[in-house]
Structure 1
């Protein structure tokens, strides 16, 4: 997703480049639903993904999700009447090749120790094909004509808030102008009691579209291909206003963590899926040193350069809406 970012290094009054090593000018403060979810789950995970950008081993679930999304996006290029299960399955090999070209590390999935070790590429693709087959039991793409697929959306929050941004899998617009926001999930639907957390991403998108278009989305729809369930919600204005308040609260907590340097780990059942246990204090690890200049560059937060110039530490409280199950 695109964001406005200065690429030139800062200069002094004489016009020479200021010596800040490899640090670039701060980016525009921005937040996506995925990164907001990371922070709500565990501030240290957010730091490792956004600031340190520590590598993570390729995930079979992530690769399958990306592949299935690509096929469903391409499927709607076909004319009405030709968007069949067979057509979707025929797209799989080519889309997999494109994915491997863009992300060669996914080829490591089937190597010893890989996330899909013991599987063959053919068998793994068959699993993706079954997910696509489930899609056709839930929707008839020949009766749909989306306004957009993989739609990049952005909205700048006022009063010092961040830029909200995301990618909507599919946006349907009815003849009367009603909006339906659709997201595909290759995992299973949430257990009872976790629906609200699952819908945070959709309310985030609904908020951005509402603010940008001036139209309140009629329907938010999550399509779960892992178990053939569809989760729907009709948002109302107050609900999306609460979502905006939650996002602002998350961003304020991000700014506070950036200025204090305290991205506190939060232990949960999701730790079992985390790739960073070796550098997590909850598991006896030690986080790498935090570079304030890198924090400023990648978060767009003015953090100062010395401990004396930073805010005093404040405890980070859990933010309502954090998911307690992995998102596929």
Structure 2
């Protein structure tokens, strides 16, 4: 079994796991149980890699032909990984899966012209520590900053745009990024954009300071709940329609399984609280250089 971890920071994906099912969060963030990758997940990894490499080229070379030519070498890198070997067994250059990757890349060019853009940064790490010690960390697919200092944060999705009733759930990740950007840069992003390559649609949102303050309180409360679960080992299973895609049903009580023995938190000598519950003193960190 992989070495158990003591999570000390919050990311959008792990926050989503906990909100979906606390036990799923434990399996992924604490027990670090392996999960077989799906073809859809690897497809997303490949498309993101191509679009990141695209912006390493001079603007004039960012063409559909050039981007499509990048797919094969990036695919070869994935195929060489033992983690993906079985998944790609039998796939060739004419497979439906690879044609799907090409369609997603072509759809991107129908949504915007990368030759007209000069991103501030792609695949950029942002992280900070809030005033209560909550540590936030995430990776933004692309950050655009224009000459007037207006900021647009962009994330690529290989699926289709969700219905409007699910917009808040979809935007959770982007609000997370906007909050960290604001706390580390002092500027509220003007626009948050999700680009859905599955159908060529976008989901845009413009946050404001008041909203981000409220969102910050939500994250603090969420992390406090998560820290309590980490300290006590009480991660309840939450059954939903998403259970059908979970790789851990054999260990889930909802499906007759039993989770691994939870490693209790380490208690430091002379203290009555777990080491991972101690207040954090780290200063805010910002990994994006100024424009």
TM over 0.5, shorter chain? yes
Q: After the TM superposition, which residues 30-179 of structure 1 pair with which residues of structure 2 at under 5 Å, given as runs?
A: 30-101=9-80, 103-111=81-89, 120=92, 122-123=94-95, 124-161=97-134, 163-179=135-151
For the pair 1:201 / 2:173, whether they are aligned, the reply is yes
Counterpart of 1:191 (choices 148, 163, 171) is 163
Task: Tell me if the contact between 1:172 and 1:181 (Cα under 8 Å) persists in the aligned partners.
Answer: yes
Q: Alpha-carbon deviation of 1:259?
A: 2.3
Residue 33 to residue 270, structure 1, CA distance change in 2 (3 Å): same
**1-structure distance, mates of 2:6, 2:245:** 30
Deviations 1:22-60 (A, max 9, x none): 989x86721110001100110000000011111111211
User: Paired residues, what number?
Assistant: 269
Deviations 1:257-298 (A, max 9, x none): 12221100111111111000111011111111101148x9xx
Q: After the TM superposition, which residues 288-327 of structure 1 pair with which residues of structure 2 at under 5 Å, given as runs?
A: 288-293=260-265, 303=274
**1-structure distance, mates of 2:94, 2:25:** 34
In structure 1, the gaps of 5 or more residues are 1-21, 112-117, 297-301, 305-328
SS of 1:199's equivalent in the other structure is helix
Task: Tell me if the contact between 2:140 and 2:177 (Cα under 8 Å) persists in the aligned partners.
Answer: yes
Q: CA RMSD in A?
A: 2.1
For the pair 1:242 / 2:221, whether they are aligned, the reply is no
**1-structure distance, mates of 2:141, 2:264:** 35
In structure 2, the gaps of 5 or more residues are 268-272, 276-291
Query: Any runs of at least 4 consecutive aligned residues in structure 1 with deviations exceeding 3 A, and if so which?
Result: 118-122
What TM-score does the superposition give when structure 2 sets the normalisation length?
0.87
**2-structure distance, mates of 1:47, 1:277:** 13
Task: Tell me if the contact between 1:110 and 1:121 (Cα under 8 Å) persists in the aligned partners.
Answer: no
Task: Tell me if the contact between 2:125 and 2:139 (Cα under 8 Å) persists in the aligned partners.
Answer: yes
Deviations 1:96-151 (A, max 9, x none): 122334x322121144xxxxxx7546412221010001101101001100010000
SS of 2:165's equivalent in the other structure is coil
For the pair 1:220 / 2:181, whether they are aligned, the reply is no
Task: Tell me if the contact between 2:195 and 2:201 (Cα under 8 Å) persists in the aligned partners.
Answer: yes
